[in-house]
Chain A
Amino acid sequence: EAQVTQNPRYLITVTGKKLTVTCSQNMNHEYMSWYRQDPGLGLRQIYYSMNVEVTDKGDVPEGYKVSRKEKRNFPLILESPSPNQTSLYFCASSLSQTATRGYTFGSGTRLTVV
């Protein structure tokens, strides 16, 4: 089944403890992206990648890192999480940035930083 898989689904952590949210897609998509979704603010792009070893900042990149060493994986790294990073995170992928067939989203990771 074609899908984007994120892990974990839920995560509670403490301020300052480094964490990684994994994202993997099995569709050979070139483009991958991370979003956070907060009530009243909608989906905001954190980082995106147009291909292996090519990443770029989105609208809200502060406090996050990403890497794209392989085409299928696009992990999101929070080096020193803070409570304002408590949010619902989504990974998405598409054949290319133009996404004329739409983006495929993962099921989401609900992160709580205390």
Chain B
Amino acid sequence: SQKIEQNSEALNIQEGKTATLTCNYTNYSPAYLQWYRQDPGRGPVFLLLIRENEKEKRKERLKVTFDTTLKQSLFHITASQPADSATYLCASNYIPTFGRGTSLIVHP
């Protein structure tokens, strides 16, 4: 079965810097990966989807990459703001399967 692995340690960065979160998957490459934002006690909110044959996808300050060689997706938030503080989840289309999420904390 496929597993989605995200760094369980929180990522702390200063406002204005670029945050980079990692999502690794095991076994076969999913057709696509999705990224969600989740605030405490709330439901995840869909942000971006990237397909296996796309190397990069952008949406405003967000950028996602998909590297089938490394079996990895990177999620970048440029010019980060304290309001970006949340947990970010990666999900594959298989089942679908969600990672446990990485907490991002942006300090003013």
Listed in ascending order, the chain A residues whose CB lies under 8 Å from chain B are 4, 35, 40-43, 45, 58-59, 88, 90, 92, 98-108, 110
From A4, A43, A58, A108, residue with most partner B Cβ within 10 Å: A43
A108–B41 contact, CB under 8 A?
yes
Q: Which of A4, A100, A101, A107 contacts B42 (CB 8 A)?
A: A107
Binary flags per residue of B92-108, CB closer than 8 Å to A gives 1, else 0: 01011011110000000
Out of A4, A88, A99, which one reaches B93, CB within 8 Å?
A: A99
Give the complex CA separation of A41 and B44 in angstroms.
15
Give every chain B residue within 8 A of A110 (Cβ-Cβ): 41
Interface hits, B14-60 → A, CB 8 Å: 31-32, 34, 36, 41-47, 49
Pick from B49, B95, B99: contact of A101, CB under 8 Å: B49
Are A108 and B42 in contact, CB atoms less than 8 angstroms apart? yes
A108 and B43 in contact (CB under 8 A), knowing A98-B93, A101-B49?
yes
CB nearest to A42 among chain B residues: B100
Binding site for A on B (CB under 8 A): 8, 31-32, 34, 36, 41-47, 49, 89, 93, 95-96, 98-101
Q: Which residue of A lies closest to B98 (CB)?
A: A43
Which of chain A's residues have a CB closer than 8 A to the CB of B31? Answer: 98
Which of B34, B42, B44, B47 neighbours the largest number of chain A CB atoms within 10 Å of its CB? B44
Q: Are A101 and B43 in contact (CB under 8 A)?
A: no
Contact A103 B46 (CB under 8 A): yes
Question: What are 28 A-to-B residue pairs whose CB atoms are below 8 Å?
Answer: A4-B43, A40-B8, A40-B100, A42-B98, A43-B44, A43-B89, A43-B98, A45-B96, A58-B95, A98-B31, A98-B93, A99-B34, A99-B93, A99-B96, A100-B32, A100-B49, A101-B46, A101-B49, A102-B36, A102-B49, A103-B34, A103-B44, A104-B46, A105-B43, A105-B44, A107-B42, A108-B41, A108-B42
Q: A98-B93, A99-B96, A102-B46 are known contacts; what are 18 more A-B pairs with Cβ within 8 Å?
A: A4-B43, A35-B98, A41-B100, A42-B99, A58-B95, A59-B95, A98-B31, A101-B46, A101-B49, A103-B34, A103-B44, A103-B46, A103-B96, A105-B43, A105-B45, A106-B43, A107-B42, A110-B41
